[in-house]
Every structure is written in structure tokens, then in C-alpha cells.
């Protein structure tokens, strides 16, 4: 795949401040990415099919290009969950699960954190491919500051949610509603409109998340301040009450690090959702809202909250051995261990663990959940059962403990995740729309339903009874069940999904 140019972004004195026209292109496959050799696939019918081989910059030695398999040979591949499928080309993030490596634009995430880069600098890196020079960072921060306020019409949307509504439902709804106020319709082919939309979403997301929290607890919404950093501004809007929020450098560091670690992670479920929705060429607000919806799923964004619940259930160190035994007998689940990609210690988990220890050492008090987590980790990592299965702590194992320690309530964990991940979604959306080779996502399927069949007289009779049931304003499944007892022509399983199902 083509690499990102090393030329720095060029300062532009118009309202978009840092675009390099030479780099404003997507990442796609070209002839230089193919090996001269082809792979040969031989099927049971003894027919052979040549497949071209792609070579990434780093990663697997062989990637088979099967894009034309169906159109050329009438052959499809079955890969539920896309566990062996590269759905796109990307130059943003590289993850090597075997070695425990995560890199943004070629830089190890851990190195960026240890070198003192903050979240906004990492945002710039993800969006534009290079770490910012001082003048570029100032321009970037100024652009975000200019877009930080939320339209008052959006503010009133929060009033429509009941007190106690889950913040993720609020966040997804308000993000989607931005499309009705900004650039509707937005021309994705216009790079100025594109960049402005990216900055607008990135600038307003902290406010939208903080307001979702304030609405959930029935407190007044706090407006952003232009004199605070990105992360401090978010904390100000979250925790200002009758007294101004006083910034705590350690809390800022913890949350900033959390944002950096969660900023992107290649083609996960929510990022792939953003790309799939974006492939239809809809606006970025809708795409980000879709990403938020995917992240809300408990299999994706809710793992750190599940870790907290697990540790509470364990209760004390004396119960750890019994809990581990229950895990091995499949009576319990060990949350925060294991990862779809990482088969080694997640490098992000090491950072979270270190920050946990630093925070509680600083405040000078013990935390029972942290002590349980440390003890449970030691027991698990000295047990062949977990080592043989390559189950190590992932980023969620300590991150929930850390967020809880700085005052973030558990039901806000996924919103905080979304806030940090937003820039990754935007970077992937940008890369997608800049690639002229992008096609709308349209997966195939393995059909296991009925073969072709004809409509019978009994089927037509069923339709007439359905019409009669609706004329009587009676739910059809109740009417049909009663009729089935009379005629014995149909059974409930025949219509369970047919009547009210989505077509």
C-alpha cells in the first residue's frame, strides 16, 4: 500500500489551516504492492485458480487479493466476524498481537506517551500523518478552540431526554443531530468542508460527552472555556458544580493518557462500522454516531466496567483462588484478560497499570479493587491454564479502576472511551473518503434458507386470514394461533418471524 508522504502540512491562512495538497490522497493498492508470484487455489473439482499476492509495509507476509473472486470465478469466501479478512488499506495504525505492538503512524503508542506527547498532538498525528511542528500545533489548537461551542439548538435536545437516560444514548443521538445543523448536505469531495467537519466534531465531542453526564444526573450544563486545554476543559465541564473546577495535573495526565491509548486500534468493530457507513458517502456526523452505537455494545466498549463488577463480586483476596477455579471450570468469566488480537501482554495495559500504582501512591491510600486486580493478575499469570491459552491482561483490566479513581462514574466509562476514540474514527473516515478506489461495503452471505417454492392455495388462504385479523384490529399472531387449532394447517413457528419481521 502506498505510504504517507513525509512532507509537513502547509499552513493555509484560510479557515482551514494545515492541509498539504500533495498528501491529501487516500491509501490504496497499486502494482508496487503485488508480488510477482501468484498463489494457486485448487478446489475439489481439480480446477485451479490463480490469486495475486499483496505485501504490506509490515505485517503478514502474504495477503491474498480475492476482490475479483466472485465476479471472475463465481467463488465466495466464508469469514464470519472478518477474522481473516483485510477489509481495507490503511496507513493509520498497526497492531501486532503476537509481539504486543501498537503503533500510530509508525510510532509506538507507549513511546509517544513516555516522550510526553499530549492527546491533541496525537490527534494531529492520526489525522495528518506527522507529529506537529510548534506552529502547526498552535494553529490546530486555535482551530479547535474556534469550533468548541455547540449550537443552542443542540443544547435544547438534551432537555428532551429524561433524567437518568444512559449517556451513550444521548451522545449518539446528539452526534447524529449535528448533521441537521452543519453542512447538510456535506460535500465529501471538498477537502475544506471535510476538514472543517472533522475539526468541528473533534472540538465539540468533549462538550457533548460532559453534557450527557450532566443531563444524566440532573445538573445544569456547563459551557466550555477557551482558556483550558482539551482534557482540562472536559474535566471542567464534567465536575464544575457551585464552585469552579480546580485542575489537578495528575488527573489531567491520567485522562490524557487514557485518550491517547484509546485513540485508535485499527479495524475494530466501531471503526469498521464508521468505515462501512462512510462507504455510502453519508456525512461524518452520522458515521461517528454509528461508531458510538457499535461501541456501546457490551462486547466492545463495556469491558472495563465488567472488570469492576467482577472484582466487586470476588470481594476479597481469600476468594481469588476459588474464582480462578470457577473460571477454569467455565462457571465464571475472567474479564479484562485475553484479546481478539493480542496474544501477549497488551502494551496499553502496562501503561494503565503503572498509572494506577502512581495515582494511589500519590493519594496515599489503598484501593481494594486495585489490590484484588494485582493479586488476581499474579495468580493468573502463574497458572499454566492461562499461559497455555495466552490470556494476558488487556487495556480494560486496569483502565476502569483508573477512571473510577479520578471520579468518573462507571456508567460513563464507554462515553469516555468514545471521546478518546473519536479522532481515530475521524482519521479512518477521512482516509476512506480520500481514496478514489473506495466502493460501498456490500458483504456476501452463505444462504441457508429455503430453495425456490411456489405459493400454494393454503398460503393464499393464510393471507386472507391475515387481512381479516387486521380488519378486526387483533394482533395477527394471536388470531393465527387460534385459527391454527381449528385447521391444523399451520404451526406458530411458520409465522413467528414472517409477520412483523424486517424485510
Q: Decide if 396 is catalytic.
A: yes
In sequence order, which residues have a C-beta less than 8 Å from that of residue 429 and are 6 or more positions away? 198, 274, 275, 278, 284, 287, 288
Is 339 known to be catalytic?
yes
Distance CA 460, CA 457 (A): 5
Q: What angle do CA 232, 116, 203 make, to 5 degrees?
A: 35
Grid coordinates representing 440?
A: 460501498
Of residues 28, 29, 72, the one with CA closest to residue 50: 72
Q: Which of 339, 346, 428, 435 is catalytic?
A: 339
Report the DSSP beta bridge partners of residue 443.
none
Reduced 3-state DSSP string for 32-54: HHEEEEEEEEECCCCCEEEEEEE
Q: Where are the alpha helices (DSSP H) in 219-283?
A: 230-239, 249-261, 269-278
Q: Is the Cβ–Cβ distance between 402 and 258 less than 8 Å?
A: yes
Nearest-CA neighbor of 363 among 250, 257, 253, 255?
A: 250
Question: Which secondary structure element, helix H or strand E, spans residue 397, and what is its range?
Answer: helix 396-405
Q: How far is CA 407 from CA 166, 171, 276, 289, in A?
A: 18, 20, 35, 26
- Active-site residue, from 346, 396, 428, 435: 396
Q: What is the DSSP letter of 179?
A: G
Phi, psi of 410 (to 5 degrees): -60, -35
- Supply the residues annotated as catalytic: 339, 396
Amino acid at each position: 500500500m502506498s505510504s504517507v508522504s513525509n512532507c509537513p502540512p502547509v499552513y493555509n491562512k484560510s479557515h482551514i489551516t494545515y492541509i498539504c495538497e500533495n498528501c491529501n490522497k487516500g491509501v490504496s493498492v497499486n502494482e508496487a504492492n503485488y508480488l510477482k508470484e501468484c498463489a494457486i487455489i485448487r478446489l475439489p473439482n481439480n480446477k485451479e485458480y490463480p490469486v495475486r499476492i499483496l505485501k504490506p509495509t509490515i505485517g503478514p507476509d502474504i495477503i491474498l487479493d480475492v476482490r475479483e473472486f466472485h465476479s471472475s470465478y463465481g467463488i465466495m469466501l466464508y469469514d464470519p466476524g472478518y477474522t481473516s479478512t483485510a477489509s481495507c488499506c490503511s496507513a493509520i495504525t498497526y497492531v501486532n498481537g503476537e509481539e504486543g505492538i501498537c503503533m500510530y503512524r509508525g510510532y509506538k503508542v507507549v513511546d509517544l506517551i513516555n516522550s510526553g506527547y499530549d492527546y491533541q498532538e496525537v490527534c494531529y498525528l492520526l489525522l495528518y500523518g506527522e507529529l506537529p511542528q510548534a506552529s502547526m500545533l498552535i494553529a490546530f489548537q486555535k482551530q479547535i478552540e474556534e469550533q468548541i461551542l455547540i449550537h443552542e439548538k443542540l443544547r435544547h435536545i438534551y432537555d428532551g431526554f429524561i433524567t437518568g437516560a444512559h449517556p451513550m444514548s444521548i451522545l449518539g443521538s446528539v452526534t447524529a443531530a449535528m448533521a441537521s445543523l452543519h453542512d447538510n448536505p456535506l460535500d465529501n469531495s471538498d477537502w475544506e468542508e471535510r476538514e472543517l467537519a472533522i475539526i468541528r466534531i473533534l472540538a465539540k465531542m468533549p462538550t457533548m460527552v460532559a453534557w450527557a453526564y450532566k443531563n444524566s444526573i440532573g445538573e445544569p450544563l456547563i459551557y466550555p472555556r477557551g482558556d483550558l486545554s482539551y482534557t482540562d476543559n472536559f474535566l471542567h465541564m464534567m465536575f464544575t458544580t457551585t464552585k469552579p473546577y480546580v485542575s489537578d495535573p495528575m488527573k489531567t495526565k491520567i485522562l490524557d493518557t487514557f485518550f491517547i491509548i484509546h485513540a485508535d486500534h485499527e479495524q475494530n468493530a466501531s471503526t469498521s462500522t464508521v468505515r462501512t457507513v462512510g462507504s455510502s458517502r453519508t456525512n461524518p456526523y452520522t458515521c461517528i454516531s454509528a461508531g458510538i452505537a457499535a461501541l456501546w455494545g457490551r462486547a466492545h466498549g463495556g469491558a472495563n466496567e465488567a472488570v469492576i463488577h467482577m472484582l466487586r463480586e470476588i470481594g476479597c483476596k481469600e476468594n481469588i483462588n476459588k474464582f480462578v477455579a470457577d473460571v477454569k471450570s467455565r462457571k465464571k468469566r475472567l474479564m479484562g484478560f485475553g484479546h481478539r488480537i493480542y496474544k501477549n501482554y497488551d502494551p496499553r495495559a502496562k501503561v494503565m497499570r503503572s498509572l494506577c500504582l502512581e495515582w494511589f501512591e500519590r493519594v496515599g491510600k489503598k484501593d481494594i479493587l486495585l489490590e484484588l486486580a494485582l493479586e488476581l493478575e499474579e495468580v493468573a499469570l502463574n497458572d499454566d491454564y492461562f499461559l497455555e491459552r495466552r490470556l494476558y491482561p488487556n487495556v480494560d483490566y486496569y483502565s476502569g479502576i483508573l477512571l473510577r479513581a479520578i471520579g468518573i462514574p462507571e456508567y460513563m466509562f464507554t462515553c469516555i472511551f468514545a471521546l478518546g476514540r473519536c479522532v481515530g474514527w475521524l482519521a479512518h473516515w477521512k482516509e476512506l473518503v480520500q481514496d478514489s478506489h473506495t466502493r460501498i461495503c456490500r458483504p456476501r452471505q452463505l444462504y441457508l434458507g429455503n430453495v425456490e417454492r411456489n405459493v400454494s392455495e393454503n398460503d393464499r388462504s393464510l393471507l386472507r386470514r391475515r387481512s381479516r385479523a387486521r380488519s378486526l384490529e387483533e394482533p395477527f399472531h394471536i388470531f393465527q394461533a387460534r385459527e391454527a387449532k381449528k385447521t391444523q394447517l399451520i404451526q406458530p413457528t411458520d409465522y413467528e418471524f414472517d409477520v412483523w419481521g424486517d424485510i
